[in-house]
Amino acid sequence: MPDFAFKLKTTDGAARRGVVSTAWGEVETPVFMPVGTAATVKGMMPESVRATGASIILANTYHLMLRPGAERVGRLGGVRRLMGWDGPLLTDSGGFQVMSLGPLRKLDEDGVTFKSHLDGSQHRLTPERSTEIQHLLDATITMAFDECTPFPATEAMAAESMRLSMRWAKRSRAAFVPRKGYGQFGIVQGSVYRDLRAESVAALEDIDFEGYAIGGLAVGEGQQAMFETLDFTTPMMRPDKPRYLMGVGKPSDLVGGVARGVDMFDCVLPTRSGRTGQGFTRRGPVNIKNARHAEDMRPLDEACACPACSRFSRAYLHHLFKADEVQGLMLLTWHNLHYYQDLMAAMRAAIEQGRFAAFEAEFHATQSLGDIEPV
């Protein structure tokens, strides 16, 4: 079984091409991780997820601790065995979900007490318990427990939140059980403030994790502020460890993140959009429920090899959504995940070829064309 390791193969500007080695296989970076919140990528079978090109998926500590319960998942052999996924698995720590509960949570130095959104039952998460849960889930990559700083936040509020997360990071690291091929990532916080991000990076590097995430972005600050924060944050981070931007995002977010030195991404957007009728294409997003697709026999995206595009027309996809047929959301989810994986593969190739800047320009030019009406 290989050690958990990151190898940086080449760079093109700030863009990085690498590979993460784990106990359950290699992950070529930059990579997008489909989200399987409750031990399932909604609308997809595990082999279908793999067929899109995905090599690693994400599951959620908060949701799985509530249902079916971490101890039960542990007894059943972990998330991978439970859901039939044969690749690496990353679990988030539950910090973001707990933050989003608002008045249903109570935070103190030791951890967070909160009420379940399912039945109102009371629960407690601490750095130690979050790490233990992720161990029971058999996460290949465990995330340190943190407080996801909300936006907007004053510099004083962001500093207090970040320093609490750094104290929790030490406790998370102490609770982590090292195993060959497994790793734990710390999470850089500090909102949009350069000095706070620098302080957070230094604190996490002192603890020494196998990788480092960038948290507290994509929480309402907007793309420009996110990119500006990445512009000064990623250069502070050590180059020999993977960098993971949490909860991001739109295709343009991924391209901009890679341009700024990010290696790993996750987001519910491609699957959530697939369930609501939005398909991502090389010419921009398409709302398949629009009436103009009712008799359009073109594929959703001529360059895509997924089942939705290679076997069916826009007219059929439109019909499935109008008829409220489950197959529609399944096909569009598959397409979106395939598109995201194609996008990441194209970026990996562009970095290897030393043409990432040209790829980025081509991406934006093509996306701005918009969808063409059928003739």
User: Is 309 found in the same domain as 280?
Assistant: yes
From 138, 146, 253, 266, active-site residue: 266
State the Cα–Cα distance between residues 137 and 125, nearest whole angstrom: 15
pLDDT higher than threshold 80 for residue 186: yes
Q: Where is average pLDDT lowest: 98-112, 135-149, 196-210? A: 98-112
User: Is 225 found in the same domain as 91?
Assistant: yes
pLDDT in tens, 346-369: 999 999 999 999 999 999 999 988
State the Cα–Cα distance between residues 19 and 72, nearest whole angstrom: 33
Q: Considering only CA atoms, which of 298, 290, 339 is closest in space to residue 319?
A: 290
The answer as to whether 374 is a domain residue is no
3-state secondary structure of 118: coil
How many H helices and E strands in the chain? 15, 16
Q: What is the pLDDT of residue 105?
A: 87
**Which residues are within 8 A (CB) of 39 and not within 5 positions of it... i.e. 6 or more apart?**
59, 64, 73, 79, 82, 83
User: Is 59 found in the same domain as 157?
Assistant: yes
The answer as to whether 372 is a domain residue is no
Q: What is the pLDDT of residue 375?
A: 41
Q: What is the pLDDT of residue 373?
A: 55
pLDDT in tens, 312-337: 999 999 999 999 999 999 999 999 99
Tokens encoding 210: 């196998």
Residue at 52: amino acid letter: T
Going by the DSSP 8-state scheme, the letter that residue 2 receives in this structure is P
pLDDT higher than threshold 60 for residue 27: yes
State the Cα–Cα distance between residues 163 and 177, nearest whole angstrom: 24
Q: What is the DSSP string of 148-175?
A: ---SS--HHHHHHHHHHHHHHHHHHHHH
User: Is 337 found in the same domain as 210?
Assistant: no
- Boundary (domain end) residue, out of 237, 266, 295: 266
Q: What is the pLDDT of residue 264?
A: 99
State the Cα–Cα distance between residues 146 and 291, nearest whole angstrom: 45
- Boundary (domain end) residue, out of 266, 290, 309: 266
Q: Are strands 243-245 and 264-266 parallel, antiparallel or unpaired?
A: parallel
User: Is 191 found in the same domain as 100?
Assistant: yes
231 is catalytic: no
The answer as to whether 21 is a domain residue is yes
The answer as to whether 373 is a domain residue is no
For 323, other C-beta atoms within 10 Å of its C-beta total 9
Q: Which domain holds residue 224?
A: 5-266
Bond into 152 cis (ω within 30): yes
Tokens encoding 256: 């901009």
pLDDT higher than threshold 70 for residue 177: yes
Q: Which residue shows structure tokens 């850089």?
A: 188
Containing 61, the helix (H) or strand (E) segment is helix 61-66
Rounded mean pLDDT of 264-276? 98
Overall domain count for the chain:
2
| Partners of residue 112 on adjacent β-strands | 107, 125
240 is catalytic: no
User: Is 210 found in the same domain as 98?
Assistant: yes
User: Is 97 found in the same domain as 36?
Assistant: yes
User: Is 217 found in the same domain as 312?
Assistant: no
- Boundary (domain end) residue, out of 221, 245, 266: 266
The answer as to whether 348 is a domain residue is yes
**Which residues are within 8 A (CB) of 98 and not within 5 positions of it... i.e. 6 or more apart?**
62, 105, 112, 114, 125
User: Is 180 found in the same domain as 162?
Assistant: yes
The answer as to whether 136 is a domain residue is yes
Q: Considering only CA atoms, which of 254, 253, 252, 250 is closest in space to residue 270?
A: 250
Containing 267, the helix (H) or strand (E) segment is none
From 92, 146, 263, 371, active-site residue: 92
The answer as to whether 298 is a domain residue is yes
pLDDT in tens, 217-239: 999 999 999 999 999 999 999 99
